[in-house]
Amino acid sequence: MMQQLEQSQILKVRDVIFRACGLWFNESKLPILSNRINTRLKESGISDLGKYLLVIASEDDRSELSTLINLVTTNETYFYRSNSQMDSFRKIILPEITDKKVAQNNRNLNIWSAGCSTGEEPYTLAICVLETLKFHSIWDIEILATDISTEVLARAFQGIYSKRSVENLPEEYLQKYFTPSDGNYAIRESIKKYVEFEYSNLTDSYFQKDFDIIFCRNVMIYFRDETKADILNRFYDSLKDGGYLFLGPTEMIRGLTDGFKMITLKDSVAFQKVPR
Ligand SMILES: C[S@@+](CC[C@H](N)C(=O)[O-])C[C@H]1O[C@@H](n2cnc3c(N)ncnc32)[C@H](O)[C@@H]1O
């Protein structure tokens, strides 16, 4: 049976989550939050929301807060999500960046998938890179994939995917880069070796530098504008000059930062770092 939770206490949980990871539940999303809290109260055996609040606010033990964050984050993802964006990345952006590097005799390529969920996005990027780069074995390719949810990171690292997760992927890539495994598909080591998974909270972690490209798709849609602006400015500092940022197809940056120029690709857009 669902417990009727007190609104003022739900709002306190909302604030703890917001301070911990930037996720913001606006009025319309509060019933979802309330459901999730109810689920967690039942699982944890703590029946009283006041007591639960003390547990998630504890500075000494962050484990319950981490479990709650795993429960409230939206992790939906799949291979080759937003095809037209992926096609433009593969056919336009990657050749532009790598041709420039070849001319400078530079064979390092650094990409970050921020908010990578269960790994479909960074593995898709690795597939695109291998499919695009001639003589990829002479390149030093690093794809950093980060997320705040420890649960999705564990699954990403395992690299086993359902039929549904791979159905948007061109058939030839499925044959080439996966091994069938009990009705699922296991990503091959030839792709896995390029992707490094790490825990990272976009709202409080130090960001690594010198990326050529950052993907942060469908992550900041759950954040408030101030949080988005802060992260976008830190992405700016993390990108090399002229580097590209890819956001989800409906996400825009106007009014949040002046550090990027919107580039129209075939049926999608990317944001290029410009000098300030
Ligand atoms: C909907 S998934 C997007 C996955 C992938 N980027 C895509 O577009 O298919 C959003 C991911 O962002 C992660 N996330 C949410 N808040 C975060 C934060 N503060 N720091 C890092 N990752 C976060 C969630 O855990 C979730 O896995």
Q: Pick from 214, 189, 201: which is nearest to 112 by CA?
A: 214
CB atoms within 10 A of CB 247: 24
Enumerate the domain spans of the chain. 7-72, 83-273
Q: Pick from 28, 35, 30: which is nearest to 1 by CA?
A: 35
Overall size of the chain counted in residues: 276
Please tell me the predicted confidence (pLDDT) of residue 62: 92
Which residues sit opposite 147 in a β-bridge? 199
Please tell me the predicted confidence (pLDDT) of residue 134: 86
The domain covering 83-273 belongs, at the CATH homologous superfamily level, to Vaccinia Virus protein VP39 (3.40.50.150)
Q: What's the longest Cα–Cα distance across the chain?
A: 65
Please tell me the predicted confidence (pLDDT) of residue 2: 63
Q: Are 127 and 173 in contact (CB under 8 A)?
A: yes
Please tell me the predicted confidence (pLDDT) of residue 47: 83
* 98 close to ligand 1 (CB < 6 Angstrom): no
* 121 close to ligand 1 (CB < 6 Angstrom): yes
* 202 close to ligand 1 (CB < 6 Angstrom): yes
Supply the CATH classification number for the domain 7-72: 1.10.155
Q: Are 195 and 187 in contact (CB under 8 A)?
A: no
* 233 close to ligand 1 (CB < 6 Angstrom): no
**Cα of 7 from ligand 1 centre, angstroms:** 27
Tokens of 93: 């952006």
**pTM of the prediction?**
0.96
Residues of the chain with pLDDT under 50: none
